[in-house]
Every structure is written in C-alpha cells, then in structure tokens.
Structure 1
Amino acid sequence: MSPLLIPLGLVIGLALGALGGGGSMLTIPALVYVLGLEPGTATTSSLLIVGATSLIGLAPHLRAGRVRVAQGLMFGAHGTAGSYAGSLLSSHVAPAVLLTAFAGLMLVVATVMLVRSVRGPGSGEGADLSREPIVTLRPVTCACPRLAKLLVAATAVGLLTGFFGVGGGFLLVPALVLALSFPMPVAVGTSLLVIAINSATALLSRVSTIGTDLDWPLIAGFTAAAVVGSLVGGKVAARIPAKVLSRTFAGLVLAVAVYTAANSVPALL
C-alpha cells in the first residue's frame, strides 16, 4: 500500500469537512495519478470514499446547526434521477469534450462566488446563523420560483455526480448559496448530506462494477483517513469567517478548473 495513502485521505477529508466540496474533485486524480488505479475503477472507488466520508463528516455540522435537513433531503431526492442518468451516460460521451465544458463551468462558478464574497454579506455569506431556520423550510408566499431553482440545481449536481464519480460539492455549494440564498457555513454542512445521497444513487447504477475489481483495503484505508480529515475540517469551518470560506472555496475551484482545462483542451486540438 502506498505511503501517500493516509496523507492524501487526510487532505481530501479536510477539504470535504471545511469546504463541503473540492475533496471529491481531488479524489479521482489522487487515485489515478498517485495510487495507480484505472479511471473506471477510480470513479467507482471515489463514490464509495466520498459518500462514506461525507456521511460521517456531516455529524459536527449537524450538531452545530449548520445543516438544513429538510431542504438537503429534498435537494438530494431531486438529484437522484440526474445521478442515475449521469452514470448511464458516462460511457457514451467523449471525455475531452465534457471535461473542457466542465472546466468552463467551474471558472464561471468560481468567478461568481468571488464577486459575491467581495460585495459583502448582503447576499447571505455573513448572515447571522442564529436567525436562520436550520431544519425546517422557510415560510414563503409562493415557493414556485425557489422550487424551480432547486429542481434545476439538484438535477445538474446529480448528473455531474453520476457522470464523473464526484460528490458535486464544488457545484452544490454555490448552488445552495446563489440559488437558494444559504449562508456559506450552512451550504457547506447541507452539501455533505446531499453528496452522500447522490453518491449512494450513483453507486446503485454501478452495482455491477462493485466487486473483486475494487481494491477494498485501499478504499478502506483512504476512507478512514478521509473521515478523520473531515471531522477536523468540520471544526475548522466553525472557526473561519464565512467570507474566508467562500473565497477559499472559489480559489480551489479556479485551481482545479485551470488544471482540468490544461489536460483536456489539448485533446480537442
């Protein structure tokens, strides 16, 4: 077993716990380029690692009141169809085309998040969490536009989870902040619940690949390290200002977008 297994798991768990996303984006490159797994095996292994880590890492956020359970369950339920469809489509589209579009999407998301954090707390990042309803849905006069945003965002995140084998947190957190006006810390906590649901759905569609082809000792060791990292990350998130979290998240997304584009664009030429 690689000596880098534990450090990689800790770093990815830390990203998941503190940022609610990004960790899953790092998991597949780590499994493929550092630990030597085949891409197909890596995506399935990633779903197992990220799903389990997100579910356990959810605990400290839940205790701190940073999870909107009802809305998270609704978001996850709406994303199941997209997650299943993404898994089925993953073998029928040219990877270079999708990864290039994926990089462009991340650039847009990161830019919007950076602009929003610079403009200040008026849109939710610096909101007083004690005044936010955490578990129950907000009472609204007409929920149609909000529900429409939730359905579109949930389906998109689910599709991404199924196709790429990632948790989708890098898109999920901005979706919760921008489309549903969640404060950043609450978006981070709630995203872990949705990631766990989406990962489980995507795994169901790949059930035929879960067997002897997977390196179970590697998955177990990686997951254990990632769980420890996620619990530490949850405590870190409670001590860092929401604006700093938002900017850190945007910076991570930008870095991954540039890396993805650098590897995918040449394949199109």
Structure 2
Amino acid sequence: MVYIGYLASVVIGLSLGLIGGGGSILTIPILVYLFKIDPKLATSYSLFIVGITALSGCFSHYRMGNLKIKSALFFAIPSVFSILVIREVIILKIPNVLFTINDFQVTKDFLIMIVFAVLMMAASISMIQKKIPQIESVKTNYFQLAIIGSVVGIVTGFLGAGGGFLIIPALIFFANLPMKQAVGTSLLIIFINSSIGFAGDLYIGTPINYTFLLSISTIAFIGMLIGSSLSKKIDGNKLKPFFGWFILVMGIYIIIRELSF
C-alpha cells in the first residue's frame, strides 16, 4: 500500500499541472488510506504538500503573466485569518469523541473524513462541468472576493485542502479574471493559505515526520512538472470531466468505508 501511495502522490502534482486544480483533494485520502496517517495529522501534511506543489506552479504562471497579486491578497488575507482561527482554536477544542449512536462512536477523525468526502463530491461537480462561464463586469468586487476568501479559509483550515475548485470560480466571477489568470492566481492563494496554516501547526507543536513529508512533496513536485509539460500538448479542460468523475467515485468510497468500520 505504501508503494501505491507513492505512485498515487504523482497524481497530486500531475492534476495541478495539467488542469490547474484537483490534486489537493486527493492528498488526504492518499495519506489516510494508503499511508495510514491519522486524519488530523494528515491535514497538516496536506497543507505542506499542497503549498509546496502550488508554489512550483506559481513560478511558471508568473513567467506567463498569469498572477494578479492584488486580487490574490484581497482573497488570501481574510482566508489566512479563517485558517488560523479554525486550526489553532476551533479544531483543538473539538473532542475526539463527539457523540455515540448505539455502539457507533462519531469521532473527530470520522467527521473530518465525512466532511472531506462531501467536499470531494462538490469539487467533482465543478470539474465535470465542461466550462465555467465568464462573467464580464466593470470592476473587481474586492469585498465579495474577501468574503469568499474567508469561507475558503474555513475549508482549508478544517480539511487541509487547497480549495482550488472554489477559488477559481470566485476569481472568474468577482475578480473578472480570464481562466488562465484565475488558475495562476489561485495557485498563489493556495500557497499562501497552505504555508500559513502549516506554520500555525508547527507553532502549536504538531509532530512532523519531515523525511516522509519531503519525499511525498518531491514526488508531487515531479508530477507537477510532468503535468505542466503535458498541458502544452493536451487540453486540460477536456480531461477535467474525467478527473471529476474519479473524484466523485473517491468521495462515495470514503463515505462507504467510514460508515462500514
């Protein structure tokens, strides 16, 4: 299972490089089910892996002129605040066992995985849709952008996911960015959110296996390079629906697995 996990880690970067998102949504299932890592710790690891992988994508998009710094900051600053509140205050106060139904215990880990599965299914719907319509507006709505940034911060803080499937439509609808610029700017936002969230976990003393973490991040980075290279020859938008169906099946599998054990 460990070797399958390392192989699956390539997909994290591959999807980010090829279709501009989706890879981070696979990180938690890979860590939990293939590497047998505790879900709460897996969210910390996911923040690092997703952040490093997104950073590598930022450089190529910067060279192509696809990064809009002002929009990224208006989105990321309130998002970071939400992340820190969720990870350093709220999650720490959630008891390990929430309640019991007959002999079945609803634990914090169970809640994380179920909410994550629902997130995966929501993300799959946006991927299965072939195209996000472009909304033409006179100017960027920075207030709405900041509000959505706060919401994405809650998702990222609780689940350790980048939230690219929420960020990209927000940048298109409220920052009036073309798809390529929305993808590039979303990677910058994901890097900022993930790195701050991971730094917060280090501050509160979360135990980290750096050897393992760096090895997974390196493999994901290689996948990112492969995906970026393939994106020049393959239309990522055509592959996104297929990847969306895969994410949907994975989300359903997680719910069935969690309810069966």
State TM-score, norm by structure 1: 0.75
> What residue in structure 1 maps to residue 167 of structure 2?
172
Aligned partner of 1:90: which letter?
A: I
Q: CA deviation at 1:14?
A: 0.9
Residues 160-239 of structure 1 aligned to structure 2 (within 5 Å): 160-208=155-203, 210=205, 213-239=207-233
Q: CA deviation at 1:78?
A: 2.5
> What residue in structure 2 maps to residue 89 of structure 1?
90
Question: For residues 246 and 179 of structure 1, what CA distance do their matches in structure 2 show?
Answer: 23
Aligned partner of 1:236: which letter?
A: L
Question: For residues 85 and 103 of structure 1, what CA distance do their matches in structure 2 show?
Answer: 23
* Deviations 1:220-248 (CA, angstroms, capped at 9, x unpaired): 11111111111222233344446425535
Q: 1:152 aligns with which of 129, 140, 147?
A: 147
Asked whether the equivalents of residues 55 and 196 of structure 1 are also in contact (C-alpha less than 8 Å), the reply is yes
Q: CA deviation at 1:256?
A: 4.2
* Deviations 1:35-91 (CA, angstroms, capped at 9, x unpaired): 122222222112111111111222222222333233123211221111112213224
Q: Among the aligned pairs, what percent are the same residue?
A: 31
Asked whether the equivalents of residues 185 and 242 of structure 1 are also in contact (C-alpha less than 8 Å), the reply is no
> What residue in structure 1 maps to residue 72 of structure 2?
72
Asked whether the equivalents of residues 8 and 222 of structure 1 are also in contact (C-alpha less than 8 Å), the reply is no
Question: For residues 180 and 258 of structure 1, what CA distance do their matches in structure 2 show?
Answer: 33
* Deviations 1:130-186 (CA, angstroms, capped at 9, x unpaired): xxxxxxxx973xx5xx22321121111111111111222232223333444433333
What stretches of structure 1 of length at least 5 have no aligned partner? 128-137
Aligned partner of 2:208: which letter?
A: L
Q: How many residues align?
A: 246
Change beyond 3 A, Cα 1:210–1:173: farther
Residues 247-262 of structure 1 aligned to structure 2 (within 5 Å): 247-248=241-242, 250-262=244-256
Question: For residues 179 and 266 of structure 1, what CA distance do their matches in structure 2 show?
Answer: 41
State TM-score, norm by structure 2: 0.77
Asked whether the equivalents of residues 14 and 229 of structure 1 are also in contact (C-alpha less than 8 Å), the reply is yes
Asked whether the equivalents of residues 84 and 162 of structure 1 are also in contact (C-alpha less than 8 Å), the reply is yes
* Deviations 1:199-240 (CA, angstroms, capped at 9, x unpaired): 1221232124556x3221111111111111112222333444
> What residue in structure 1 maps to residue 134 of structure 2?
124
Asked whether the equivalents of residues 9 and 30 of structure 2 are also in contact (C-alpha less than 8 Å), the reply is no
